[in-house]
């Protein structure tokens, strides 16, 4: 038999097994039929019975193509998940070889790499305009699945892999070359070893929010945090057979089915979750979280689909060009250029756009990117503010801007000079007074009766405005009314006696009097005991969490949560004072669906950061607890990671002081983005901070984790947080931190 | 003393004796005298203690429970519920001055009576700064110095300077200033300053220590008084809190090197026999009057002790208020008479009034006669810093006498292993005489007759403070 | 040198230990569905982080607490007559017949191999704060002791006195006392292994691990 027939037969067998794998038992009639035809032909070809083997083979191949096209229309979301995870799917190395003209890997070679799951390469493309050839450099960053090679870890990147990615993003920025990122990850590898999964992702997102080179991201498998670590881009392209999701369908099923350690979710439940999480390319395009879909061949591209790579090349170059063009200043020229580029008939290789940016263009690029993310997902939260309120707010914003900028930019600068002058004048007056009065003072000293003053002072009651001492709490946990005892979780190792509830939840502020373990308290406790009484002004309370994906049964759950927590969303934003220091606070409440963050919470967080920036107040994120991104909101949730981080970055760069305080349990998305990026993060004692909980770690890595793996003390030792506070000392500690970090006027660096 | 009409209401109560050893025995005896049933508790280590034997022999139904620890309030509450107790007597130590415990007893779903002052009073007088300020507001003398925590270094320095100058004015040769953490207690975070120039560094050290240890950098600055006698005033009041009476004064100046009392004497001074460099009678009258004034002012509603120090110049200063029955209440009771009747039992008075009975007498009905001293017999080595001795007691005997009251949980003539978990007190011996000379003689006679021997696990003989007590008997009430 | 084979044979001759589970404090006891003959598990998991099987629930002041099996074993007696009753602290509840585990055998043999530092008096013992911190943050093996080093606090009669370690220099290999537990004079506090003998100990452990089969 002919060698090339053998090769093509092998290819068909691969395609057949691919179909079988992708559909996992569905459409067995088609696969059986294909298999019969294939075996039949193979038999004939082998025995030499076939007269025209090439023609027959072509028929079989056509049949395969036909069936593939037909089946492509039936693909369910879960089938697509299986496609992107299939070893036969193309990988980043295939892209490097087929999309770019040349490349050098700079992030390690094969298994000899800091993290083989993260691939980094300097690549070039060559374009020609007329006879002139242009070489353009790109930094390519992405997860490498290596067609199932075990050392690639399926593209699940370890914290140091993401750190490597960040390092080369910064290199690209220095060199002024664009970045192409390719997202092939089921999620980040959830270990807390330095630099820590969450902490590193937060750093990546924060940095990407201000990177001054064009970034284009291509999503094949976009698994939550792992995807966001390299996903904050000017243009986000998505492959038609990829998925982009807040969590793997299996993970969602485990949460939906409330599965405990080791239990497996049923395939039906997983399908159900995949279907309702809206993870496909069309969904995400509709929501606006990706800018364009790149069409793949039927049943998804594989390394031999060279046509696909050609179109991918066109798309990424076009996207890069568009980003560059959109930073141009002249609107007319910009429009013309964009129109030409967007025309699908244009051969991108025949055009040449310089990718280097001027200083002003860089600023415009970053600004556009930030604005783009800030605009996202607003529709997914229910804004119940009355129309008038909204209009009034906007109007006030507009009115107050000049005043605020006068007050802070002009007045404060000159105020210092005025007060210095006044001080000097006062000094002079005091000096004159002292001289004038000295004879009288001398006379008074000689008068008798002075001795008794000492005894008087030392033995009689002094005046004392009792402040901090024996301070009473403004709010007591309602649990203090229940006559029962509680066992401290540390009693085994520290010998703590059982605590009486009425003592524990009132006077002790939920702190074990023996070992100092902190029992969780209600969010209200903090609101009323940390800040000055009566200083709380809540805003945007009408922005409500909803069910933007119409996730089955979830609307009821959200309604129930609203009633239980007596709040409209899991994020309360308010202005407050501590000893008359004003600040804006965003509080994620662990009592509202675990403190998960969805579109409404993100919206309020972004608004709070903007308000803090406008009013020149410090911004405190108090995390009473957060379980992560609200999975039932799908990508509406996950987009809050880059979005809120952008908001925080804008606030910090405007000179703001952003502080984070973690309490109880803080995990996953929020920690890995807008919380973890703060330069000043503190934790309350007995809190846990991490990326994924023990169950998820066991599920994804197979490792058992030690019992104290997520304790805040480990986060402190690792450098994630800057300090651990006693709950009863939060108020003085915040005040001290504000005064020492925030300096004189608490806002400007 | 107990008015017979209300005996029936008393008998409806049942008291949880939340203590061990000698005081538990005294409480149970007082209950028996009043006809009130009781429940005692003990721990595994303490099974051989006298209070367990007494409860087993004389207590009624559900009168003895083994608990995991005397320190665990939950155990006591749980036992009280099972035994249907209606009141809790904390004795001294353990929960006696724990306002949270008192509050829990009074506020839990199945409410009980805490036999002691109400929890708010315990809290108020348990706070030294608060007590000092209260005293000053009533013009009761306190140790010269600050009566509020000082946070400001300049102010601290100024106060220290004033205290130094104040002492110089009074002719004190080596003035001393004490700097202590205001949130501290139990002798922690206290330092002396003898030189004004040294003050700043000491102040900073104490302040930093306080900040680390108690999360509050306030300090108190006081005069350090070196040469003084330690006096106490015994107060008794009923739940109305309106008519407190006193049961005289005690002198507790003979103490171990660790400032633990070893001999207590009632009354506090005997100016009719001994010469003092100051008007001792006036001092006694004054501290009694001051104590009553404060008790009345706070509405003090049970037994308590006002602790005073009296300087060689005869200036009394209030130190603190002990809101509990004290170990040495027996010496005061021994010399007191109510309407001419002796046999006063302050613990019975405490229980009776604690359960709501009125006092039934006034200060005029109380008279005093004679002198009484109390020895605390302890297995310890006075030569070696009063280190407790641990081992087995083989013989414990003494000559009985009508003027001697022996309070002990240690069995006579039976071997007894001293438990290591608790105070090393073995017995209290209360000796009475018509005057100080007779009391002293009887005290010596008692100590001479005492046989106390034992061996530790290395075969060494028992060490006790017998010789120390004997040597110091001569000194009592001299100042 | 110790004859490990002989020691192992001795232990193999009587490989069981009787464990009496007592009420840790007073309260109302409710037994789990257990009966004599049942097999129960002690704490499990790599760090013994999963508690043992529940034998009973002890409720005090509306705080129900599980009473768990301290070790694997077979239940030989349940005081079912106490079910629903108020019990005092220390009341026997369940008796377990426990076959010695590898670790226990190892510990028994270690006790004969290591240098044992004994409690001089009946008292409660604690590590000094520095040592305690080290042990809590990693494990006992990280603490090196020297002759004359202040290592313990001995607490009795409400007095705390420092206690100095005497014996060969080495690492703390085993800790034999628990927090807040009263020890009799002569009870071992720690087992110390001189640095040079660590390999002997490791060989011994390997032998026990291979020769002792757990059921």
Nearest Cα residue to A499 out of A489, A550, B345, B120: A489
C26/B420 Cβ within 8 A: no
Task: Specify the number of domains making up chain A.
Answer: 4
B47 part of contact set with chain C, CB < 8 Å: no
A500 and C180 within 8 Å at the Cβ level: the answer is no
Q: Give the residue, B10 or C157, on which the prediction is more confident.
A: B10
Q: Which residue of C has its CA nearest to B424?
A: C157
Chain A 696-735, residues with CB within 8 Å of chain B CB atoms: 726, 728-729
Would you kindly state where each structural domain of chain B is located, as residue ranges? 3-115, 144-223, 228-473
- pLDDT of C215 > 80? The answer is no
**Contact: C157, B423; criterion CB under 8 Å:** yes
Q: If you average pLDDT over every residue of chain A, what do you get?
A: 89
From residue C215, alpha-carbon distances to A507, C16, C42, C72 in Å are 51, 12, 14, 10
pLDDT at B1 over 60: no
A131: pLDDT confidence band, cut at 50, 70 and 90? confident
Q: Which chains does A contact via 3+ CB–CB distances below 8 A?
A: B, C
**β-sheet bridge partners, residue B429:** B375, B406
Whether C158 contacts chain B with CB within 8 A: yes
Give residue-wise pLDDT tens across range A290-334. 999 999 999 999 999 999 999 999 999 999 999 999 998 888 778
Helices (H), B271-328: 280-298
Task: Give chain B positions within 8 Å (CB) of A491.
Answer: none
Instruction: Report the candidate in B353, B313, B344 with the shortest Cα–Cα distance to residue B432.
Output: B344
Q: What is the distance in angstroms between the Cα of A487 and the nearest Cα belonging to chain C?
A: 8
Please write the tens of the pLDDT for every residue from A228-280. 999 999 999 999 999 999 988 888 888 888 777 667 788 888 899 899 999 99
Collapsing DSSP states into helix, strand and coil, what is residue A584?
Answer: strand
- What's the angle, vertex CA A29, arms to CA A24 and CA A33, rounded to 5? 115
Question: In whole angstroms, what is the distance from residue A209 CA to residue A215 CA?
Answer: 10
Please give the C-alpha separations between residue B438 and each of A116, B275, B370, in angstroms, as whole numbers.
96, 18, 9
Q: Which residues contact A451 (CB under 8 A, 6 or more apart)?
A: B169
| pLDDT (mean) for B189-204 | 89
Which residues in chain C touch residue B67, judged by CB atoms under 8 angstroms apart?
A: 25-26, 88-89
Query: Could you tell me how far CA C21 lies from the centroid of its own chain?
Result: 14
Which value, in Å, is the radius of gyration of the alpha carbons in chain C?
Answer: 20
Poorest-pLDDT segment among A519-523, B50-54, C4-8, C36-40: C4-8
Confidence of residue A426 (pLDDT cuts 50, 70, 90): confident
Q: How many CB pairs under 8 A join B and C?
A: 62
| Chain B interface test: which of C22, C62, C122, C129 (most B C-beta within 10 Å) | C122
How near does any CA of chain B get to the CA of C93, in Å? 15
Contact flag C45-A704 (C-beta cutoff 8 Å): yes
Tens-digit pLDDT profile for residues A530-540:
999 899 999 99
Per residue in A16-43, pLDDT (tens digit) is 999 999 998 888 899 999 999 999 988 8
> Quick one: what percent of chain C has pLDDT higher than 70?
96
Q: Which residues of A touch C60 (CB under 8 A)?
A: 485, 498
The answer to whether residue B141 neighbours chain A at the CB level (below 8 Å) is yes
Quote the strand ranges of C32-167, DSSP E: 39-40, 54-60, 63-68, 73-78, 86-87, 92-99, 115-118, 123-127, 144-145, 150-156, 159-164
* Of C50 and A390, the one with more pLDDT: C50
Interface test with B, best of C64, C157, C162, C184 (most B CBs within 10 A): C157
- Which of C20, C84, C88, C125 is the mutation pick for testing B, counting most B CBs within 10 A? C88
Contact in structure between A409 and A745 (CB atoms under 8 Å): no
- Does the beta-carbon distance from A483 to B108 stay under 8 Å? yes
Locate the chain A residue with the closest alpha carbon to B74. Answer: A498
- Which of C26, C157, C182 lies at the smallest CB-CB distance from B78? C26
Question: Of the candidates B192, B179, B180, B182, which has an alpha carbon nearest to the alpha carbon of residue B128?
Answer: B182
Q: How confident is the model at residue C2 (pLDDT cuts 50, 70, 90)?
A: low
Residue B97 pLDDT greater than 50, yes or no? yes
- Domain B228-473 has what CATH class? alpha beta
Chain B nearest CA to C29, separation (Å): 13
| DSSP annotation of A153 | G
Last residue of a domain, one of A375, A405, A439: A375
pLDDT per residue as tens digits for the range A633-642: 999 999 999 9
Residues in C closer than 8 angstroms to B77, CB to CB, are 61
In percent, the amount of chain A with pLDDT more than 90 equals 66
Contact B72 C25 (CB under 8 A): yes
Residue among C61, C63, C89 with most chain B CBs within 10 A, to mutate: C89
- pLDDT above 70: percentage of residues in chain B: 98
Q: Does A494 touch chain C (CB under 8 A)?
A: yes
**Spatial separation of the C-alpha atoms in residues B270 and C11, rounded to whole Å:** 73
pLDDT at position B359 is 94
CA dihedral A618, A621, A622, A628 (to 10 degrees): 180
Asked if C35 reaches chain B (Cβ–Cβ under 8 Å), the answer is no
Handedness of CA A608, A613, A615, A616 (dihedral sign): positive
Contact A590, A522 (CB under 8 A): no
Question: Quick check: B152 contacting A, CB < 8 Å?
Answer: no
Q: Do A484 and C47 touch (CB under 8 A)?
A: no
Q: At residue C158, does pLDDT exceed 60?
A: yes
C89–B78 CB contact, under 8 Å: no
Report the C-alpha gap between A514 and A491 in whole angstroms: 9
Q: List the strands of the sheet with B177-181, edge to edge.
A: B190-193, B177-181, B219-223
Tell me whether C14 touches chain A (CB under 8 Å): no
Is B460 in CB contact (< 8 Å) with chain C?
no
Complex ipTM more than 0.95, yes or no: no
**For the residues B396-421, what does the mean pLDDT come to?**
90
Residue A424, domain member (yes or no): no
Q: Superfamily assignment of B144-223 in CATH?
A: ATP-grasp fold, A domain (3.30.1490.20)
Closest CA–CA distance from residue B136 to any residue of chain A (Å): 5
Any B CB within 8 A of A472 CB: no
State the chains in contact with C (3 or more Cβ–Cβ pairs under 8 Å).
A, B
| Integer Cα distance of A145 and A153 in angstroms | 7
| Residue B72 with chain C: CB contacts under 8 Å | 25
Name which of C89, C123, C159 is nearest B68 (Cβ-Cβ).
C89
**CB interface of C with B, residues 126-155, below 8 Å:** none
pLDDT in tens, B103-137: 999 999 999 999 999 999 999 998 888 999 999 99
Indicate if A179 and A203 belong to the same structural domain.
Answer: yes
pLDDT band at A48 (very low <50, low <70, confident <90, very high): confident
Which chain A residue shows the shortest CA-CA distance from C60? A485
Whether B127 and A470 lie within 8 Å, measured CB to CB: yes
Instruction: For residue A142, give the H/E element and its range.
Output: strand A132-143
A659 strand-pairing partners: A620, A680
Find, in chain A, the residue whose alpha carbon is nearest to that of C45.
Answer: A704
C 62-91 residues inside an 8 A Cβ radius of A: 62-63, 65
User: What is B3-115's CATH topology?
Assistant: Rossmann fold (3.40.50)
Q: Look at residue B9 in the predicted model and tell me its pLDDT.
A: 84
Residue count (chain B): 479
Query: Does position A408 have pLDDT exceeding 70, yes or no?
Result: no
Q: Does domain C15-99 have CATH number 1.10.10.10?
A: no
The domain limits of chain C are 15-99, 103-211
Candidate from A662-671, A730-739, B180-189, C177-186 with smallest mean pLDDT: B180-189
List the structure tokens of B443.
């005290």
* Alpha-carbon gap, residue A142 to A180, rounded angstroms: 8
Which residues, 6 or more positions from B266, have their beta carbon under 8 angstroms from its beta carbon? Answer: B248, B249, B250, B251, B331, B332, B334, B335, B371, B372, B373
Structure tokens at C71: 């070790």
Query: Residue A349 belongs to a domain with what CATH number?
Result: 3.90.226.10
* Under 8 Å between Cβ of A84 and A21: no
Other C-beta atoms lying within 10 Å of the C-beta of residue A554: 20
Asked whether the predicted pLDDT for residue A467 surpasses 70, the reply is no
Catalytic positions of B: 324
User: Could you tell me the pLDDT band of residue B2, with boundaries at 50, 70 and 90?
Assistant: very low
Question: Is the pLDDT confidence value at A470 over 60?
Answer: no
Cα(A611)–Cα(A584) distance, integer angstroms? 8
For residues A218 and A235, give the distance between their C-alpha atoms in angstroms, rounded to a whole number: 9
Domain extent, residue A494, equals 478-518
Residue A442 pLDDT > 90: no
Cβ contact, residue pair A487, C179, below 8 Å: no
Lowest mean pLDDT among A87-96, A300-309, C90-99, C197-206: C197-206
pLDDT at position B83 over 50: yes
Interface touch B68/C90, C-beta < 8 Å: yes
Whether A404 is covered by a domain: the verdict is no
- Residue C159 near residue C175, CB atoms below 8 Å: no
Residues A3-13 have a mean pLDDT of: 89
Query: In sequence order, what are the beta bridge partners of A568?
Result: none
Q: Is A484–C62 a contact, with Cβ atoms under 8 angstroms apart?
A: yes
> Is any Cβ of chain B less than 8 angstroms from the Cβ of A425?
no
Give the CATH fold of the C103-211 domain.
Answer: OB fold (Dihydrolipoamide Acetyltransferase, E2P) (2.40.50)
User: Residue B198 above 60 pLDDT?
Assistant: yes
pLDDT of residue A500: 96
- Same domain assignment for residues A513 and A546: no
Residue A450 has a pLDDT of 54
DSSP-assigned states of every residue in A659-694: EEEE-SEEEHHHIIIIITT-SEEEEETT-EEESS-H
- C89-118 residues touching A, CB cutoff 8 A: none
Residues in chain C, overall count: 215
Alpha carbon A552 to chain centroid, angstroms = 25
Same domain assignment for residues A43 and A104: no
A10 and A95 share a domain?
A: no
What pLDDT shows up at residue A413?
Answer: 64
Which residues in chain C (94-133) have CB-CB distances under 8 A to chain B?
121-124
Residues 6+ apart with CB under 8 A from A304: A11
DSSP A64-107: HHHHHHHHHTT--HHHHHHHHH-TTS--HHHHHHHTSSEEEE-S
Say what the pLDDT of residue B448 is: 95
Query: C46 to chain A: which residues are within 8 Å by CB?
Result: 704, 706
- Write phi, then psi, for A62 (nearest 5 degrees): -60, -40
Nearest to A707 among C49, C60, C136 (CB): C49
Flag whether pLDDT at B4 surpasses 50: no
């Amino acid at each position: 038999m002919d060698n090339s027939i053998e090769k093509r037969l092998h290819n068909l067998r691969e395609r057949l097994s691919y179909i079988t794998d992708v559909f996992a038992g569905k459409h067995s009639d088609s696969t059986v039929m294909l298999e019969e035809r294939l075996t039949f032909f193979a038999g004939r070809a082998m025995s030499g019975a076939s007269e025209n083997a090439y023609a027959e083979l072509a028929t079989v191949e056509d049949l395969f193509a036909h069936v593939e096209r037909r089946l492509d229309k039936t693909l369910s979301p879960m089938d697509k998940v299986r496609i992107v995870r299939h070893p036969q799917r193309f990988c980043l190395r295939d892209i490097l070889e087929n999309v770019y003209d040349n490349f050098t890997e700079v992030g390690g070679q094969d298994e000899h790499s800091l993290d083989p799951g993260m691939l980094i390469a300097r690549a070039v493309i060559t374009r020609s305009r007329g006879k002139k050839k242009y070489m353009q450099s790109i930094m390519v960053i992405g997860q490498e699945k290596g067609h199932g090679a075990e050392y690639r870890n399926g593209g699940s990147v370890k914290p140091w892999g993401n750190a490597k990615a960040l390092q080369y993003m910064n290199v690209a920025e220095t060199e002024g070359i664009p970045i192409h990122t390719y997202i092939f990850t089921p999620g980040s590898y959830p270990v807390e070893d330095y630099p820590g999964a969450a902490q590193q992702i937060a750093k990546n997102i924060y940095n990407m929010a201000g990177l001054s080179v064009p970034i284009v991201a291509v999503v094949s498998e976009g698994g939550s945090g792992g995807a966001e670590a390299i996903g904050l881009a000017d243009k986000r392209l998505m492959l038609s057979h990829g998925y982009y999701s807040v969590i793997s369908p299996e993970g969602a099923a485990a949460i939906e089915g409330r599965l405990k350690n080791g239990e497996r979710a049923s395939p039906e439940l997983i399908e159900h979750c995949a279907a309702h999480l809206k993870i496909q390319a069309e969904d995400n395009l509709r929501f606006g979280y990706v800018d364009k879909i790149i069409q793949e061949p039927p049943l998804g591209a594989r390394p031999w689909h060279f046509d696909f790579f050609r179109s991918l090349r066109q798309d990424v170059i076009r996207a890069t060009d568009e980003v560059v063009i959109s930073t141009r200043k002249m609107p007319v020229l910009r429009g013309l250029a964009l129109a030409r580029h967007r025309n699908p008939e244009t051969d991108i290789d025949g055009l040449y756009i310089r990718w280097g940016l001027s200083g002003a263009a860089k600023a415009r690029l970053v600004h556009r990117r930030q604005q783009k993310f800030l605009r996202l997902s607003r529709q997914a939260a229910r804004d119940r503010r009355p129309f008038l309120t909204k209009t009034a707010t906007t109007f006030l914003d507009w009115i107050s801007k000049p005043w605020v900028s006068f007050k802070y930019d002009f007045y404060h600068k000159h105020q210092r000079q005025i007060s210095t002058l006044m001080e000097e004048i006062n000094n002079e007056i005091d000096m004159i007074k002292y001289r004038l009065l000295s004879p009288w003072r001398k006379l008074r000293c000689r008068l008798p009766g002075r001795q008794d003053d000492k005894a008087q002072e030392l033995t009689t009651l002094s005046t004392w405005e009792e402040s901090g001492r024996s301070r009473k709490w403004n709010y007591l946990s309602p649990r203090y009314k229940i006559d029962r005892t509680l066992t401290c979780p540390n009693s085994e190792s520290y010998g703590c006696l059982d605590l009486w509830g009425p003592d524990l939840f009132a006077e002790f502020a939920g702190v074990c009097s023996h070992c100092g373990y902190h029992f969780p308290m209600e969010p209200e406790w903090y609101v009323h005991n940390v800040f000055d009484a009566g200083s709380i002004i809540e805003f945007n309370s009408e922005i409500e969490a909803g069910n933007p994906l119409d996730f089955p049964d979830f609307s009821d759950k959200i309604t129930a949560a609203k009633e239980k927590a007596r709040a409209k969303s899991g994020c309360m934003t308010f202005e407050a004072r501590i000893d008359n220091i004003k600040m804006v606070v965003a509080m994620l409440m662990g009592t509202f669906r675990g403190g998960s963050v969805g579109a409404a919470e993100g919206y309020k967080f972004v608004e709070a950061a903007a308000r803090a920036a406008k009013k020149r107040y410090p911004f405190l994120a108090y995390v009473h607890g957060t379980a992560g991104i609200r999975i039932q909101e799908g990508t509406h949730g996950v987009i809050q990671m880059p979005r809120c981080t952008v908001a925080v970055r804008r606030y910090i760069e405007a000179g703001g002081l952003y502080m984070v305080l973690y309490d109880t349990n803080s995990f996953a998305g929020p920690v890995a983005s807008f919380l973890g990026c703060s330069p000043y993060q503190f934790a309350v004692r007995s809190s846990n901070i991490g990326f994924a909980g023990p169950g998820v770690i066991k599920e994804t890595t197979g490792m058992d984790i030690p019992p104290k793996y997520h304790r805040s003390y480990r986060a402190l030792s690792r450098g994630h947080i800057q300090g651990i506070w006693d709950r009863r000392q939060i108020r003085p500690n915040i005040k001290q931190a504000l005064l020492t970090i925030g300096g004189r006027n608490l806002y400007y660096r | 003393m107990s008015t017979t009409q209300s005996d029936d209401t008393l008998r409806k109560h049942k008291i949880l004796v939340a203590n061990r050893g000698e005081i538990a025995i005294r409480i149970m005896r007082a209950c028996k005298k009043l006809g009130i049933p009781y429940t005692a508790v003990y721990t595994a280590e303490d099974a051989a203690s006298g209070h367990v034997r007494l409860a087993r022999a004389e207590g009624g139904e559900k009168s003895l429970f083994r608990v995991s620890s005397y320190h665990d309030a939950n155990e006591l509450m749980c036992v009280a519920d099972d035994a249907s107790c209606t009141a809790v007597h904390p004795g001294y130590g353990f929960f006696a001055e724990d306002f949270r415990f008192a509050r829990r007893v009074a506020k839990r779903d199945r409410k009980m009576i805490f036999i002691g002052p109400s929890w708010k009073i315990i809290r108020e007088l348990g706070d030294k700064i608060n007590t000092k300020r209260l005293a000053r507001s009533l013009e009761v003398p306190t140790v010269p110095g600050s009566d509020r925590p000082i946070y400001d270094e300049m102010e601290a320095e100024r106060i220290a300077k004033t205290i130094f100058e104040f002492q110089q004015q009074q002719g004190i040769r080596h003035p001393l200033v004490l700097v202590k953490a205001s949130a501290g207690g139990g002798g922690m975070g206290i330092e002396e300053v003898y030189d004004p120039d040294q003050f700043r560094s000491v102040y900073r050290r104490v302040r930093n220590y306080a900040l680390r240890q108690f999360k509050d950098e306030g300090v108190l600055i006081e005069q350090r008084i070196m040469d003084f006698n330690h006096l106490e005033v015994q107060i008794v009041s009923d739940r109305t809190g309106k008519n407190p009476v006193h049961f005289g004064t005690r002198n507790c100046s003979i103490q171990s090197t660790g400032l633990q009392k070893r001999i207590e004497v009632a009354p506090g001074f005997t100016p009719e026999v001994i010469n003092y460099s100051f008007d001792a009678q006036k001092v006694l009258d004054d501290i009694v009057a001051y104590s009553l004034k404060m008790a009345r002012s706070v509405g003090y509603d049970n037994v308590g002790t006002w602790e005073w120090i009296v300087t060689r110049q005869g200036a009394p200063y209030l130190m603190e208020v002990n809101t509990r029955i004290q170990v040495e209440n027996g010496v005061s009771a021994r010399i007191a008479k109510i309407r001419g009747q002796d046999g006063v039992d302050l613990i019975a008075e405490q229980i009776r009034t604690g359960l709501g009975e009125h006092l039934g007498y006034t200060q005029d009905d109380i008279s005093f006669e004679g002198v009484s001293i109390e020895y605390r017999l302890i297995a310890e080595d006075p030569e070696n810093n009063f280190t407790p001795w641990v081992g087995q007691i083989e013989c414990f005997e003494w000559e009985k006498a009508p003027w001697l009251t022996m309070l002990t949980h240690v069995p006579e003539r039976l071997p007894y292993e001293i438990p290591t978990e608790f105070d090393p007190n073995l017995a209290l011996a209360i000796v009475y005489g018509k005057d100080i000379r007779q009391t002293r003689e009887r005290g010596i006679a008692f100590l001479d007759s005492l046989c106390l021997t034992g061996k530790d696990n290395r075969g060494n003989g028992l060490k006790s403070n017998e010789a120390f007590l004997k040597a110091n008997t001569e000194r009592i009430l001299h100042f | 040198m110790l004859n490990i084979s002989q020691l192992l044979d001795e232990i193999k001759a009587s490989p069981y230990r009787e464990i009496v589970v007592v009420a840790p404090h007073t309260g109302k006891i409710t037994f789990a569905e257990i009966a004599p003959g049942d097999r129960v598990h002690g704490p499990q998991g790599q760090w013994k982080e999963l508690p043992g099987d529940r034998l009973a629930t002890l409720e005090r002041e509306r705080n129900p607490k599980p009473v768990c099996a301290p070790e694997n074993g077979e239940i030989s007696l349940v005081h079912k007559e106490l079910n629903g009753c108020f019990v005092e602290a220390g009341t026997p509840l369940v008796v377990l017949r426990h076959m010695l585990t590898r670790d226990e055998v190892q510990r028994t043999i270690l006790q004969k191999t290591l240098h044992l530092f004994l409690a001089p008096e009946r008292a409660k013992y604690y590590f000094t704060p520095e040592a305690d911190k080290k042990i809590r943050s990693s494990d006992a093996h990280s603490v090196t002791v020297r002759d004359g080093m202040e290592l313990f606090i001995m607490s009795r009669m409400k007095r705390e006195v420092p206690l100095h370690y005497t014996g060969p220099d080495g690492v703390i290999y085993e800790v034999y006392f628990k927090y807040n537990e009263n020890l009799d004079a002569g009870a071992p506090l720690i087992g110390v292994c001189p640095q040079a003998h660590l390999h002997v100990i490791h060989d011994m452990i390997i032998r026990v691990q291979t020769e002792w089969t757990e059921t």
